Amino acid sequence: MKRKSFNEKYEKKVKRIDKIPKRFVDVKWVFSITFCAFLISLLFSSLTENAVSHLNVLISVVIAISIIAIGVVFDMVGVAVTAADLKPFNSMAAKKIRGSKTAIFLIRNAEKVSAFCNDVIGDVCGIISGSVGILISLEIAKEFGFNESIITLILTALLAALTIGGKAMGKSYAINKSDVIVFRFAKIISFFKREVK
């Protein structure tokens, strides 16, 4: 019996892959998420920048750190949804445990949920914390007579490091505790919105 060459085996695999129906890009979803990101960024940027300009430096720093924390938490949720297992939530849903159906919905729509959590909320929080950091550094420079460019450079670098470090730690936790994070997030959603069927 003649052995099949590597090329023949490879060609057969390619033909099998070609038969799998290709998923097209959901243009409507891409447009809506882009528009949503624009609105959220516009709203939160104007609110935080107006608030920071009327508050003292210490409260402004607390606001900047809070924005970073929100970004880290949503980044964790985005990662957890993609890593979570559907099986435990199916058994929870059979027992009618609150939040289980919402968790199933989140996992089945992991692509969209992670895009919203990671790309919209996570990135918007990163941008806003950066702009708040610039306002804080200008305020510090004006109040204490420091060099504006040096203070801005140090503070924006510090906020960027906190964001990256927080997200790195959050991602590690999200992968290891994905089911717990998804369930807790789903339970919070279920208090504000009726459980999906």
What is the pTM (predicted TM-score) of this model? 0.75
pLDDT at 4: 53
Q: Phi first, then psi: what are they for 56, rounded to 5°?
A: -75, 170
pLDDT digits 0-9 by tens, 109-160: 998 899 899 888 888 888 888 888 888 888 888 888 888 888 888 888 898 8
Specify the higher pLDDT residue, 33 or 182.
Answer: 182
Of 187, 87, 166, 156, the residue nearest 122 (C-alpha): 166
Query: How far apart are the C-alpha atoms of 107 and 84, rounded to whole Å?
Result: 7
pLDDT digits 0-9 by tens, 47-84: 777 777 777 888 888 888 999 999 999 999 999 999 99
For the chain, the domains span: 6-192
Where residue 1 falls among pLDDT bands split at 50, 70, 90? very low
Is 40 in contact with 119 (CB distance < 8 Å)?
no
Q: Tell me the Ramachandran region of residue 99: left when phi exceeds 0, alpha when psi lies from -120 to 50, beta otherwise.
A: left
Q: Identify how many contiguous H helices and E strands the chain contains and give both numbers.
A: 9, 0
Listing DSSP states for 30-98 in one string gives HHHHHHHHHHHHHHHHHHHHHHHHTS-HHHHHHHHHHHHHHHHHHHHHHHHHHH--SHHHHHHHHTT-T
pLDDT at 42: 84
| Vertex 84: Cα angle to 184 and 126 (nearest 5) | 70
With a pLDDT cut of 70, the percent of the chain lying above it is 85
Where residue 196 falls among pLDDT bands split at 50, 70, 90? low
Query: How far apart are the C-alpha atoms of 78 and 73, rounded to whole Å?
Result: 9
pLDDT at 197: 58
Determine the residue type at 41. Answer: S
Q: Does position 14 have pLDDT exceeding 50, yes or no?
A: no
Mean pLDDT of 85-95: 88
CA distances for 44 relative to 41, 63, 140, 179, angstroms: 5, 12, 22, 30
pLDDT at 23: 55
